[in-house]
Structure 1
């Protein structure tokens, strides 16, 4: 009996000691991300931002935003998402929260954007209609002489295409009485909004609405009756003679008129006015911007760091460009180097090589690239970069010289496995953005973040893609396509890559791109 009591005391003691032992081993911190997301009926790929844990899907007009289904939804390996977006339908008229757990909890916000085109125009209207979705109202201006009781609608669409109805059903080509505000109900998926249409008489037939001055180009926006042919005139503020903007440089949609005034002088004051027939609009005075060179656009400045890493700037100078050499040099040598093979026969150019760097089978494909920005640090065998340099001017084209030698794509990530065996392509692109700081690029597939030319932060963009082999340098020009003529940029990004999909470690070892003598055009 005493022996049994002894065993019991020993067991109790062991249990007591175990209860006193603390588990001080911390759980690993592994950020949990949404890695892919696709909604049924989306119009372009989702934007996934792992820095602020947010994802945006872009829905087509025909999708019911309050009943959205997802066809693709994946998270970081080992993570558990609640809710699982592949199950059920979701109301994305407001953001939803997705919790992803693995050791810690990460809250992601998923939201939707659904651009719906809305318009309403009347024959002979002055200027462009105001379609106010928030206030559910339309405002149309017509001349003082217009009969409000008999106005013909020329176009109308206030709801989503194919899934909306209007009551009463206003139709283009028909006349209606707009002497009083007209209220209509727009119904979509059983939900109804009441819109009010206001038609107002205005005294001024022609108006200069806005003038956007670039360096050697001015964009002018005006309004006039839609049955008149509108245009613009301009002069230097110091001159008295007005110059007509050629009709080939003027576009008119209903009563809205846009003019492109070319071949101007930088840093010069101009006066612009809209005109239509004998009617003259108000005058607007603006001053054009300066022009500027691309810092070290000739790629002449280089120095060798640690006898291994080629840097595209003077050792004691200001850095504007950078490469992926810091990452490539962790497993091999620099794959972006200076070269005497130039477009002019003097100075230096940049030689970008796509190589497999490593020892034997251990390594990675490194695509040569040079860009405006800086290489921040190595992330394992991946890289973290800062894209962009401060910039406020609006050029029209990027010019330069390039030479390319393609190679068969022999390394490919899972996303681009179907490209194996095809010729590689070089990629040169230029973008103006409204970033408030350099944009962080991460090539690690676990938290990858790359530049998106379709993102809202892009003001203007242009690119060149080429697959082939050249015997010598060829000139190129890339026109910048602007989304807004009024918005001034804050950052400039120019990127050159020997392999278009190098960010995904996909390309052909042996592909080579030479670039030289970059400059901007400021005119059309």
Structure 2
């Protein structure tokens, strides 16, 4: 009896010991999780979702209390759980952290952006007022011929629309205190139950009536910035370095914003040094020197160079420069018949070349593949998903991409859940261009350097290009969702977000199916492209 009990006890102890030693080597699936949609009460425009930064930026109307924002709708990756749900009141006066969970946790931030259109206008002001929101300080300058003791405050708005200044709506009567170099006053600003601030107004006397602030030279274009007196004609003079004669910039190129003014000057020479100066009335500012730069080089813009590596058709010459690439590396896993982007002798009329590119969307076995062509490198295939590197080294300043295309659309039959609403709608082709200041990353397997990595995923939860990426300097796109039976010229204007940032990379992407990187589109949708070119000037 005791021997039996002893054996049972030993068996239980051994079982417990062995169970502690058993290691679970089966890894949990790694599923990237994303916020896919959000709307709050008092929102202005659409939310900006950045997959790369794991942030969602929501712009709030001026009159919304940022500490009490009601979440109307909130969506995220299917099957994930979230620490935040719709119907919750959140504080967006600072970034709000959200955790999405499915096997792993992913941290996201919701950022509230609440621009306030502030203004302070002084009679005989030079340039525009500046606002230090953190320190509640508004500053302005008056022209050198004006007297600080004659300051007239003609307009003031420091808070949300409808805020009170010293208890009154509109411009209050303020008491100025005079110092040697400036005059100062204070204003108490209130609005609803969340704005209660005391602002300092400070007005300086300038030693000038006009200032040449800066100049940014591109290739055939320069951007000139100045400050002057709003009630007078303001603009710029320009000349080549070494010339004696100034040329006045046509007023049609000048944009006024109060006392600030900007000129976009076209038709300049590349690789040339210029001088410019601002003027306001009969006064001129100091001379600023700047230089234009040279055009950039993009090989195979006519799509003449092709060769085949085993099963894959590649858009560059044998032993040539690998600048463009396609998704053919992934689509031909089973057969060389599945190349989705090919050369074609169907060229645009008037072309001096012999070949163009044709991009064919199709279903390959069980997955949809969009015909595509892009600057960059197809890095690898993971399972049935692709890893791509978009962009190549580029340091110039194009103003537009031009080219020729034609398109045959079809009804969308393939769509992931995120884009299920697009089914039975005509497919849309796209050409988009981005210029940015990314740090190029080298692929250790190939030695190729590209700017932005994209990882496709049939759940829509991969890593995608974000046109709101902070690295983007300029962006533009062309889309078409109808049949275009003959080659037609197109032009994509690059919308610059800054004129003084230095580019490092250029991205151009063409796809016969706009949402092809989400495995969504129409088998049979086909796009032809030919004779691309970059321009560096603006029309009049």
Query: Normalising to structure 2: TM-score of the pair?
Result: 0.87
Structure 2 matches for 1:7-406, cutoff 5 A? Answer: 7-21=4-18, 22-31=21-30, 33-41=33-41, 42=43, 43-49=45-51, 54-61=54-61, 62-73=63-74, 79-81=80-82, 83-86=83-86, 88-104=88-104, 106-117=105-116, 118-161=118-161, 164-169=163-168, 171=170, 178=176, 179=178, 180-187=183-190, 189-306=193-310, 308-330=311-333, 333-343=338-348, 344=351, 346-358=353-365, 363-406=366-409
Listed as ranges, the gaps of 5+ residues in structure 1 are none
How far the C-alpha of 1:488 sits from its partner, in A, is 2.0
How far the C-alpha of 1:353 sits from its partner, in A, is 0.6
- The DSSP-based 3-state class of the residue aligned with 2:46 is strand
Change (3 A) 1:10 1:119: farther
Change (3 A) 1:469 1:20: same
Listed as ranges, the gaps of 5+ residues in structure 2 are 441-450
How far the C-alpha of 1:6 sits from its partner, in A, is 4.0
* 8 Å contact kept, 2:404–2:529: yes
What does the per-residue CA deviation read over 1:16-63, in whole Å, with 9 as the maximum and x for residues that have no partner?
1111112212352333523435141443234243x66x3233231344
* 8 Å contact kept, 2:328–2:339: yes
Change (3 A) 1:220 1:75: closer
2-side partners of 1:195 and 1:31: how far apart?
A: 51
The 10-residue stretch of structure 1 (113-122 or 214-223) with the greater mean CA deviation from structure 2 = 113-122
* 8 Å contact kept, 1:340–1:346: no
1:439 equivalent in structure 2: 452
1:508 equivalent in structure 2: 522
Change (3 A) 1:80 1:297: same
What does the per-residue CA deviation read over 1:111-170, in whole Å, with 9 as the maximum and x for residues that have no partner?
4141413332323310122112233211101113334455444544333446x5443547
2-side partners of 1:249 and 1:382: how far apart?
A: 48
1-side partners of 2:279 and 2:79: how far apart?
A: 66
2-side partners of 1:491 and 1:515: how far apart?
A: 22
How far the C-alpha of 1:191 sits from its partner, in A, is 4.4
- The DSSP-based 3-state class of the residue aligned with 2:485 is coil
2-side partners of 1:213 and 1:169: how far apart?
A: 47
Change (3 A) 1:37 1:30: farther
- The DSSP-based 3-state class of the residue aligned with 1:476 is strand
2-side partners of 1:276 and 1:101: how far apart?
A: 59
Change (3 A) 1:276 1:502: same
What does the per-residue CA deviation read over 1:387-425, in whole Å, with 9 as the maximum and x for residues that have no partner?
111222111111111111222222233333333233222
- The DSSP-based 3-state class of the residue aligned with 1:44 is coil
2:447 equivalent in structure 1: none
Change (3 A) 1:422 1:85: closer
2-side partners of 1:101 and 1:470: how far apart?
A: 45
1-side partners of 2:23 and 2:467: how far apart?
A: 47
Change (3 A) 1:78 1:413: closer
* 8 Å contact kept, 1:224–1:276: yes
* 8 Å contact kept, 1:293–1:519: no
* 8 Å contact kept, 2:341–2:373: yes
* 8 Å contact kept, 1:153–1:171: no
RMSD of the TM alignment (CA)? 2.5
2-side partners of 1:119 and 1:92: how far apart?
A: 24
- The DSSP-based 3-state class of the residue aligned with 1:404 is strand
- The DSSP-based 3-state class of the residue aligned with 1:282 is coil
What does the per-residue CA deviation read over 1:217-270, in whole Å, with 9 as the maximum and x for residues that have no partner?
111111111111101100001211100101111111211111122111011110
2-side partners of 1:435 and 1:342: how far apart?
A: 34
What does the per-residue CA deviation read over 1:200-230, in whole Å, with 9 as the maximum and x for residues that have no partner?
1112101101111111111111111111110
Change (3 A) 1:477 1:84: closer
2:446 equivalent in structure 1: none
- The DSSP-based 3-state class of the residue aligned with 1:432 is strand
2:444 equivalent in structure 1: none
* 8 Å contact kept, 2:411–2:426: yes
* 8 Å contact kept, 1:151–1:175: no
2-side partners of 1:515 and 1:400: how far apart?
A: 7
2-side partners of 1:408 and 1:77: how far apart?
A: 26
2-side partners of 1:414 and 1:151: how far apart?
A: 63
2-side partners of 1:217 and 1:80: how far apart?
A: 51
The 10-residue stretch of structure 1 (246-255 or 419-428) with the greater mean CA deviation from structure 2 = 419-428
1-side partners of 2:391 and 2:430: how far apart?
A: 17
- The DSSP-based 3-state class of the residue aligned with 1:200 is strand
1-side partners of 2:486 and 2:393: how far apart?
A: 33
2-side partners of 1:409 and 1:254: how far apart?
A: 50
* 8 Å contact kept, 1:150–1:175: no
1-side partners of 2:389 and 2:229: how far apart?
A: 49
How far the C-alpha of 1:436 sits from its partner, in A, is 1.9
Change (3 A) 1:384 1:152: farther
